[in-house]
Amino acid sequence: MKKLENKVSLITGASAGMGRAMAILFATEGSRVVATDINSSGLEELKKEAADKGLELITQVADISKEEDIEKMIDTSVSTYGSLDILVNNAGIIDDFKTVGEASNELWDRIIAVNLTGPFKASRAAVRIMEKQDTGGVIINNSSIGGMFGVRGGAAYVASKHGLNGLTRNMAATYGVYGNIRVNAIAPGGVETNIQDTIKEPSELGNKALDDKGEMPMGSSGDLARVALFLASDDSAFVNGAILTADGGWTAG
Ligand SMILES: NC(=O)c1ccc[n+]([C@@H]2O[C@H](COP(=O)([O-])OP(=O)(O)OC[C@H]3O[C@@H](n4cnc5c(N)ncnc54)[C@H](O)[C@@H]3O)[C@@H](O)[C@H]2O)c1
């Protein structure tokens, strides 16, 4: 039996990296997948890969920082497949490791909008569907080791991911404990994806603080997709409110 048979999953940031690996793995495990991203050409590539593999997957361009796009992607899941069982808030961006003294208002607002406010609004729309379903639902937030320590990103990134972990715990302690919606987060360490290419002008101080934390083991998108599959499936039925570290031991010592 496949692990996500008859489930409907909505994954944000699914054009590339971990989101894309999750979309393919979830569909391979029997889920009907709604894959969303701001990047339409990446979604086209994903759609083709899924079709070549005979997988059930539709795509929708959605900017997670726009509320109307969030409403539309949730509506698409329900109108196309009749339910929304799994939401993965995966889309996220980084901030050149800018320290608080270096971060502009624009940088701060953009990072918080994509990494924290977007997941809040998507989760709000999702729980309104999931709490009416007999089977409830599952929400997974792709956070970061930056959500647990001070210097695994710049000030805005670290604050956004700490916020996302708080949101995860709040939802788990309400909808998970008093309802039927499990909410967990993944805290990846280093993962080989396109996100590294988005670092344009790294902060000298931010970079130094990060370098001082020692060599960062690098995982693959597939490694993290399998963690997400565990949290999405009934294998983790008793896991609620966890921030699951997946960093190859980087922060263990
Ligand atoms: N790669 C790492 O080392 C690492 C480590 C810890 C946490 N993370 C987190 O994992 C998640 C996935 O990152 P990744 O490494 O796969 O990155 P990635 O850049 O490869 O993929 C992120 C995807 O999000 C999309 N995206 C960006 N802004 C968006 C928006 N406004 N609306 C919708 N989609 C948008 C991008 O187009 C891209 O397809 C992020 O939340 C990131 O913070 C990554």
CA of 224 to the centre of ligand 1 (A): 12
Residue-wise pLDDT tens for the chain (253 aa)?
899 999 999 999 999 999 999 999 999 999 999 999 999 999 999 999 999 999 999 999 999 999 999 999 999 999 999 999 999 999 999 999 999 999 999 999 999 999 999 999 999 999 999 999 999 999 999 999 999 999 999 999 999 999 999 999 999 999 999 999 999 999 999 999 999 899 999 999 999 999 999 999 999 999 999 999 999 999 999 999 999 999 999 999 8
Protein residue with its CA nearest to atom 37 in ligand 1: 39
Check residue 232 and give its pLDDT: 98
Q: Which residues are catalytic?
A: 157
CA 250-239-161 angle, 5° bins: 50
Judge whether 106 lies within some domain: yes
Judge whether 109 lies within some domain: yes
Judge whether 253 lies within some domain: no
Protein residue with its CA nearest to atom 41 in ligand 1: 92
Residue ranges making up the domain that contains 98? 8-246
Judge whether 252 lies within some domain: no
- Is the Cβ atom of 231 under 6 angstroms away from ligand 1? no
Judge whether 1 lies within some domain: no
β-pair partners for 171: none
CA of 242 to the centre of ligand 1 (A): 20
Integer CA distances (angstroms), 69 to 36, 85, 93, 163, 177, in order:
10, 19, 18, 22, 30
Mutate to test the pocket of ligand 1, among 74, 193, 250 (most ligand atoms within 8 A of CB): 193
Judge whether 2 lies within some domain: no
Q: How many domains does the chain have?
A: 1
- Is the Cβ atom of 42 under 6 angstroms away from ligand 1? yes
Check residue 249 and give its pLDDT: 97
Q: Which of 15, 16, 31, 14 is nearest to 229 (CA)?
A: 31
CATH number at residue 233: 3.40.50.720
Check residue 253 and give its pLDDT: 86
Tell me how far apart the alpha carbons of residues 146 and 188 are, in angstroms, rounded to a whole number: 9
Judge whether 238 lies within some domain: yes
Name residues whose C-beta falls within 8 Å of residue 114's C-beta, 6 or more positions apart in sequence.
64, 65, 91, 92, 93, 160
Judge whether 125 lies within some domain: yes
In the 8-state DSSP scheme, what is residue 147? G
Mutate to test the pocket of ligand 1, among 121, 191, 224 (most ligand atoms within 8 A of CB): 191
Atom from ligand 1 closest to the CA of residue 89: 41
Tokens 């909410």 identify what position?
A: 183
The pTM score is: 0.98
Protein residue with its CA nearest to atom 14 in ligand 1: 17
- Is the Cβ atom of 153 under 6 angstroms away from ligand 1? no
